[in-house]
Structure 1
Amino acid sequence: MQFRAAEDGDTVALAHMWHKGWHEGHAAHVPTALVALRTVAEFEARTASHLAQTTVMEVDGQIAGFHMLEGDEIYQFYVGAGFRGTGAAKTLMRHAEAALAGRLAWLACAVGNARAARFYEKSGWEQAATFDYHVETASGPKTVSCWRYEKHLPPES
């Protein structure tokens, strides 16, 4: 597995992975008005606006997943369906954690997204709170009930 900074040419592929993964993990747990806004075009625009914060993981030249970091937050974290169950998510998480070394890192997980919650907990993240998370959309922020996961990440040695 190789890691690199996202490039403009990755936008469409990343947006499609994010769109598909978001709908699989979130659509049943968020307001229907938000689901309706989560189109491929919206994900393409969001991906483009966050490209500088995005790291791509490749396997044999194919995009296997990505993470976006925003301050101390793992803002987005997705692994392509074909790479789930291969250890790719664990490797991608270790990479994101290394980038946040020495911090109290956090991430938001939609309440009800049990698959993601299990993965975070297996990765050593602790559920710290339930809170209203304001997510960006093309028509302005929307509120989603989320679990806040935190992890104290030691400094790199």
Structure 2
Amino acid sequence: MQVRPADPAEIDHLAQVWHDAWHGSHASLAPPELVRLRTLPNFRDRLAAMLDTIIVMGPVGTPSGFCAIKSDELYQLFVSQAAHGTGVAAALIADAEKRLAARGVELAWLACAVGNMRAARFYEKSGWDNVGTFVMMSETSIGPFPVDQWRFEKRLARSA
């Protein structure tokens, strides 16, 4: 399987992947008010708005994971539970790092929910450093919502 751009026809499937993965890894860590706002339509709307930045991995029509970048940030990275441990996330993060480096980003960053130890271990294994905690204003349907996050950073090799 190759990393590829998301197809607009995959938005509903990707929204389900994101919804299930987010609720599986974040619902117990996030404030209840935020959990209530993280509905399937919310994930679908957010995906539609960033479709041109999304890469996926998996069968056409039913990808098992996706990654989006925004400015100097690895903005979203989610894979289905069935894809955990299969190399999908590693391929997606490597591709995101290449895309960020190609943009001239030298120091990339990502946010990870405080307490999401599985994700934190994956990021560290992938060469990212946890540089501390900050409050991120997460996008919601009712406006920005403050959430404690770990900030991970990685120096990227310059693209040739």
| Equivalent position of 1:70 in the other structure | 70
| Equivalent position of 1:130 in the other structure | 133
Task: Say whether residues 1:151 and 2:154 are aligned partners.
Answer: yes
| Equivalent position of 1:117 in the other structure | 120
| Equivalent position of 1:30 in the other structure | 30
Contact 1:2-1:59 within 8 A present in 2 as well: no
What count of residue pairs does the alignment treat as equivalent?
A: 157
| Equivalent position of 2:108 in the other structure | 105
SS at match of 2:134: strand
Whole-angstrom distance in 2 between the partners of 1:106 and 1:136: 17
Q: Match for 1:139 among 129, 138, 142?
A: 142
Contact 2:67-2:76 within 8 A present in 1 as well: yes
SS at match of 2:64: strand
Whole-angstrom distance in 2 between the partners of 1:5 and 1:83: 18
Unaligned runs of 5+ in 2: none
| Equivalent position of 2:86 in the other structure | 86
| Equivalent position of 2:16 in the other structure | 16
Q: Which stretch has the larger CA shift, 1-10 or 76-85?
A: 1-10
Q: Which runs of 4+ in 1 moved over 3 A?
A: 59-62
Whole-angstrom distance in 2 between the partners of 1:71 and 1:14: 22
Whole-angstrom distance in 1 between the partners of 2:44 and 2:62: 19
Whole-angstrom distance in 1 between the partners of 2:88 and 2:54: 16
| Equivalent position of 1:7 in the other structure | 7
RMSD: 1.4
Contact 2:55-2:92 within 8 A present in 1 as well: no
Contact 2:13-2:62 within 8 A present in 1 as well: no
SS at match of 2:58: strand
More strand per residue: 1 or 2?
1
Q: Measure how far apart 1:80 and its partner are.
A: 1.5
Q: Which stretch has the larger CA shift, 97-106 or 141-150?
A: 97-106
TM-score scaled by length of structure 2: 0.93
Contact 2:17-2:64 within 8 A present in 1 as well: no
TM-score scaled by length of structure 1: 0.94
Q: Measure how far apart 1:79 and its partner are.
A: 1.3
Q: Measure how far apart 1:59 and its partner are.
A: 4.7
Contact 1:103-1:152 within 8 A present in 2 as well: yes
Q: Measure how far apart 1:3 and its partner are.
A: 2.0
Contact 1:106-1:148 within 8 A present in 2 as well: yes
